[in-house]
Amino acid sequence: MRTVIATLAFSAATACLLASQVQAADNLSFKGVLVAQACTIRPGDELIAVEFSDISTASLYLNTRTPGVPFYIHLQDCDTQIADSVTVTFSGAENAELPGLLALATGSVARGIAIGLETGASQLLPLNVPSPEQGLNNGDNIMVFNAYVRGEPAAIANESIRKGRFVANSTFTLAYP
């Protein structure tokens, strides 16, 4: 980094010396896009951990899924003059047997399950599909979601769900239509 700064300083000094001798055409261009953010994500909500309590395999065989565990994305300083609604898209590796649900991460001991997502009103949210638009208010807003564990159909039919710890990872993207 120090070398680059020194080189730039030297180049600028050389250009000043040459400017008195030769007038060069414009040879430096700057481009960019300025945007106004409709909201900011509350510090700490960039990385959200959802903890499930102990899940019984017998319960999954009987009900196929767990009840939803709520989690929240807090939006701050929203300005409805910039955008009055927001969507969220959750992305990640899809479970091969349950498309739209999140596959377990490598290193997970449990097998035969996937993680599903839904709105706070229990509307299913498949991976890689934008959620329904949620209206925004000026100031602070809270987006409510649920995560649940679902057994894979074959693992339920064969009663072959493997117990153990599991992890799954997703990325969320906010869009202001």
**Mean pLDDT, consecutive 10-residue segments, the chain of 177 residues?**
27 40 68 85 93 95 97 96 96 97 96 96 95 96 97 97 96 93
pLDDT of residue 33: 81
112 domain residue, yes or no: yes
End-to-end CA distance of the chain: 40
Q: Of 120, 23, 39, whose CA–CA distance to 79 is shortest?
A: 39
Assess if residue 87 is contained within a domain: yes
Q: Does residue 9 form part of some domain?
A: no
Say how many domains are in the chain.
1
Q: What span, in angstroms and rounded, lies between the C-alpha atoms of 8 and 2? A: 10
Residue 121 forms part of a structural domain: yes
Looking at the DSSP bridge assignments, the partners of residue 144 are 72
Give the model's pLDDT for residue 28: 79
Contact 149, 56 (CB under 8 A): no
Can you give the CATH number for the domain in which 148 is found?
Answer: 2.60.40.1090
The confidence score (pLDDT) of residue 23 equals: 62
Q: Can you give the pLDDT at residue 27? A: 73
Instruction: For residue 13, tell me if it sits in a domain.
Output: no
